[in-house]
Structure 1
């Protein structure tokens, strides 16, 4: 049994049994992938994949039983290669991050700039997607770090680390009636058409639940994945925008009023997701610490190396009081005036 054969089986499984996609990811040909898989099946004495012609249709019972072991081997091979590279060429290699547009656009630029200054020889790959896509990339080993607000908790293969809290803001043209109100109510918002994020990008259920508790039905006329798109349609007069507060840029968005609405909705938690058992390189620890200074190496390793899924969740919850206090301190610093609403 060869490591390449194990890699090919795992890559096909991670790509939904799509041999073409697996071949592309492996930088090889489809016949080459099929040949390696036949060889490992011959050696093991059973088929891993059911076939229909040249296509794989599903895992066999044997395949379902053996795949976790092959994945574990491949995982340790990846860790070994990463460790070997760090030992032979410290401060080099590749760091792959998957995140949403909001994080990439507003939360990560300063972190990445500082990281690049410290590790100029490390190549950064930044992938954008929905939270579910981001989590799937991390679980499949296609990225090292997943950063998102929602979706990561649905994958037990990931250990989550809370990074920071954020809340929403209303953005409207400066001549909009809401711009005159410093503390709008849910009734105020429900009286206008709303433009906000698609459901999968933030926990919009918190927002809709807040309206539902007041027996209000928000009029969502447009949803988007990008805060800049939301602001564009606000400028066009389509509706009132609800965005992450960090996405309002006072220097660039001078034509918009930004109104603090954290009194209406619960805080959101942006988290880092790491694949369980992952061995981190020094640059990876450094990146995480720059993004979330309260996360130290001991806490990260304790959660990652534990086989107790609940331990990571307990560590997650343990950090929330600290983040709440930090969020409150930041709010006080940036709260003069308490609202960005303009007369």
Structure 2
């Protein structure tokens, strides 16, 4: 058995057992992959995959155990490479970050700039997606570190740590009839056209749950993944916007005399927690620890190490 066989099986599972797509992803031939898998099955004396003709149909029960072992082996192979990089290049390399648009646009610029000042030889690779895509990039080791609000804690293969709490803000033109209200109610919002995030982004789940708990059906006239897009359509008068509080900071549109006003909505939708995520068992280079602490000073190296070893979170936000 060899690492090529393990990599083929791992990628076939990721590609829904489609060997054509597996071959494309690994830049090799489909017959070569099929032969390597058959050879490993013969060596182990079990069928890793159930077949219909030459097509793979499903992973067998012993195959699932083989795949779990392969995941551990390939993770440790990746760790060996990172250990080599860590000690041969102490202060250089690439930090791959997976995050959502809101975090990339409003939260990470400061920490990224600080990281570059502290480790000038480290380059940054920033990947944006929805929270589930962020999680998958960590699992696939496309990214070293992830940051998002939704979903990350749902994945057993990830270690997640709380970074900070935030609330939603209601945004509207200064001329809007509700602009003079300091505290708005769900009933008032239920009568307005609303502009908010796509259901999988930036705490939208809490918004939907709050309305449902009061048996209200809000009119969502536009959904977006980008806070700037929401604010743009609010300016055009399409409705009341619901955005993350990070999106209204340092925005001249909300300054005195600006064209928009913002009202806190934490009392309506509750608080959200942004979480940092790492792949369980991954070897972390020194600048990964450093970047985590730049995001939140609570995320010390000792805390992260305890969490990675199954010690949980030992601090309060």
The answer to whether the Cα contact below 8 Å between 1:135 and 1:152 also exists between their aligned partners in 2 is yes
**How has the CA–CA distance of structure 1 residues 174 and 27 changed in structure 2, closer, same or farther, with 3 Å as cutoff?**
farther
Partner of 1:2 in structure 2? 2
Matched, 1:301 2:305: yes
Alpha-carbon distance, 1:54 to partner:
5.2
Q: After the TM superposition, which residues 269-288 of structure 1 pair with which residues of structure 2 at under 5 Å, given as runs?
A: 269-288=273-292
Q: Which runs of 5+ in 2 are unaligned?
A: none
Alpha-carbon distance, 1:170 to partner:
1.1
Partner of 1:341 in structure 2? none
The answer to whether the Cα contact below 8 Å between 2:253 and 2:260 also exists between their aligned partners in 1 is no
Normalised by the length of structure 1, the TM-score is 0.84
**How has the CA–CA distance of structure 1 residues 11 and 142 changed in structure 2, closer, same or farther, with 3 Å as cutoff?**
farther
Task: Find the aligned partners of 1:290 and 1:67 in 2 and give their Cα distance.
Answer: 36
Matched, 1:264 2:268: yes
**How has the CA–CA distance of structure 1 residues 173 and 53 changed in structure 2, closer, same or farther, with 3 Å as cutoff?**
farther
Which of 287-296 and 221-230 deviates more?
221-230
Alpha-carbon distance, 1:116 to partner:
1.9
Partner of 1:80 in structure 2? 80
Partner of 1:251 in structure 2? 252
Task: Find the aligned partners of 1:299 and 1:94 in 2 and give their Cα distance.
Answer: 23
Task: Find the aligned partners of 1:299 and 1:153 in 2 and give their Cα distance.
Answer: 17
* 2:267 counterpart SS class: coil
Task: Find the aligned partners of 1:32 and 1:233 in 2 and give their Cα distance.
Answer: 53
Alpha-carbon distance, 1:109 to partner:
1.1
Alpha-carbon distance, 1:218 to partner:
2.0
* 1:142 counterpart SS class: coil
Task: Find the aligned partners of 2:120 and 2:23 in 1 and give their Cα distance.
Answer: 31
Task: Find the aligned partners of 1:177 and 1:226 in 2 and give their Cα distance.
Answer: 25
Alpha-carbon distance, 1:55 to partner:
4.1
- Give a deviation string over 1:61-98, Cα, whole Å, max 9, x none: 33112111111111111111101111111122332221
RMSD, aligned α-carbons: 2.1
Alpha-carbon distance, 1:221 to partner:
2.0
The answer to whether the Cα contact below 8 Å between 2:202 and 2:244 also exists between their aligned partners in 1 is no
Partner of 2:128 in structure 1? 128
**How has the CA–CA distance of structure 1 residues 25 and 117 changed in structure 2, closer, same or farther, with 3 Å as cutoff?**
farther
Task: Find the aligned partners of 1:186 and 1:53 in 2 and give their Cα distance.
Answer: 58
* 1:122 counterpart SS class: strand
Q: After the TM superposition, which residues 227-238 of structure 1 pair with which residues of structure 2 at under 5 Å, given as runs?
A: 227-238=227-238
- Give a deviation string over 1:142-166, Cα, whole Å, max 9, x none: 3221211011121111111000111
The answer to whether the Cα contact below 8 Å between 1:14 and 1:140 also exists between their aligned partners in 2 is no
**How has the CA–CA distance of structure 1 residues 17 and 122 changed in structure 2, closer, same or farther, with 3 Å as cutoff?**
farther
Matched, 1:70 2:70: yes
- Give a deviation string over 1:275-302, Cα, whole Å, max 9, x none: 1111111011111111121011111111
**How has the CA–CA distance of structure 1 residues 26 and 293 changed in structure 2, closer, same or farther, with 3 Å as cutoff?**
farther
**How has the CA–CA distance of structure 1 residues 296 and 45 changed in structure 2, closer, same or farther, with 3 Å as cutoff?**
same
Task: Find the aligned partners of 2:54 and 2:294 in 1 and give their Cα distance.
Answer: 48
Partner of 1:36 in structure 2? 36
**How has the CA–CA distance of structure 1 residues 202 and 90 changed in structure 2, closer, same or farther, with 3 Å as cutoff?**
same
Which of 76-85 and 173-182 deviates more?
173-182
Task: Find the aligned partners of 1:108 and 1:19 in 2 and give their Cα distance.
Answer: 38
